[in-house]
A and B are shown apart, each in its own frame.
Chain A
Amino acid sequence: MLIELLTDRYPGMRQWLTQRLSAVVMALYTVLFVLLIALYQPTNYAEWHDFFSPWWWRLATLLSWVCLMMHAWLGVRDVLKDYIFNVTVRSYLQLLVELVLIIDLTWMAFILVEMK
């Protein structure tokens, strides 16, 4: 089914679909985030800390962050494919983007783990 389309048998569809699916996850998370903020209205550090303390909420945040990173990775890859035609330069730039995104994701994971 959908997961079949994410395999390497469908190189074009995989990228396109991953971008759409990650966008859906981020959209759902954003709606939930706005609703919960409206409900709890955290104003200071302690309240923000409590806001992110439930494990399921931290897990949802991490999941949406993974989706954001994948979405950004694919988007930037698209832009690089369109504008950078030298394969070596493009590979280095892609690697740089991947490094930044992995550092960002790791940082986010540390923050969420430390919040409990």
Chain B
Amino acid sequence: MKFSIYRYNPDTDKKPYMQDYDIALEDSDQMLLDALVRIKQVDETLSLRKSCREGVCGSDAMNINGKNGLACITKLSDLDEPVVLRPMPGLPVIRDLVVDMTQFFDHYNSIKPYLENNDPPPETERLQSPEDRAKLDGLYECILCGACTTSCPSFWWNPDKFVGPAGLMQAYRFIADSRDQAEEERLENLEDPYRLYRCHNIMNCTDVCPKKLNPNAAIAAIKDLKIERAKEHKDAQPKTGKKIFGIKVL
């Protein structure tokens, strides 16, 4: 099977290049990661991340024939040849298919990805009703592989400011959690014109998610929630000195 793989070693290469491989696969090689492991047997200089090899750890996210995905759950039989493999776009390349995900995790950390609850911890666990628990379905399954965020043009344009689909979906995962008490702060944390509102519903995130999640729906839900909360809090807000596009209205 033919492969064309992005190669770049900053210590030795002046610029990145594509290297061709023609590899004889065995019957047991079903997934793209199997083929990459086979390639590493003939060229041990090829660098990539991998770990669980079953779509749970998110380590081997890469750009496969132009679309982000996980090598371990991408069937070889579904791929056109030559299989073109590149690192995920929009992040600095450390080497070959390995990208620096510092920016990605900085955004993830900025949404405070943990429960905030000031009540004293109960003796056992904090309970949820089945209905409240169901609200987390489609959100908690995210494995933070970065496929969605690095396929998002809004992230390419403003990587330092836009949180990106993965971070925003995790923001909503905690906003929607009945055990969390920091909904107001979390919504306020996303009010900046860049952090949330750079999303233009391009939907690349939903298209590429290897776990078949829908970050775009989570982003829309955050916006809807902001409107809902504003309706609920209309009497609580101070009424004076408000300006709309510079004109005093309230």
Contact = CB atoms under 8 A, between A and B. Distances in A.
A7 B240 CA distance: 11
Contact of B230 (A1, A15, A78): A1
Contacts of B231: 1-2
Interface string B195-223: 11110100000000000000000000001
What is the predominant secondary structure among interface residues of chain A facing chain B? Answer: helix
What is the predominant secondary structure among interface residues of chain B facing chain A? Answer: loop
B244 A7 contact: yes
Interface of B: 154, 157-158, 190-198, 200, 223, 226-227, 230-231, 234, 237, 242-244, 249-250
24 contacts: A1-B234, A2-B227, A2-B231, A3-B244, A3-B250, A4-B237, A4-B250, A6-B244, A7-B242, A7-B244, A8-B242, A9-B242, A10-B191, A10-B226, A11-B192, A12-B190, A12-B191, A12-B192, A12-B195, A12-B196, A13-B197, A13-B230, A15-B197, A82-B157
Given A10-B230, A13-B197, 14 more contacts: A1-B234, A4-B230, A4-B242, A4-B250, A6-B244, A7-B243, A7-B244, A10-B191, A12-B193, A12-B195, A12-B197, A13-B191, A13-B223, A17-B227
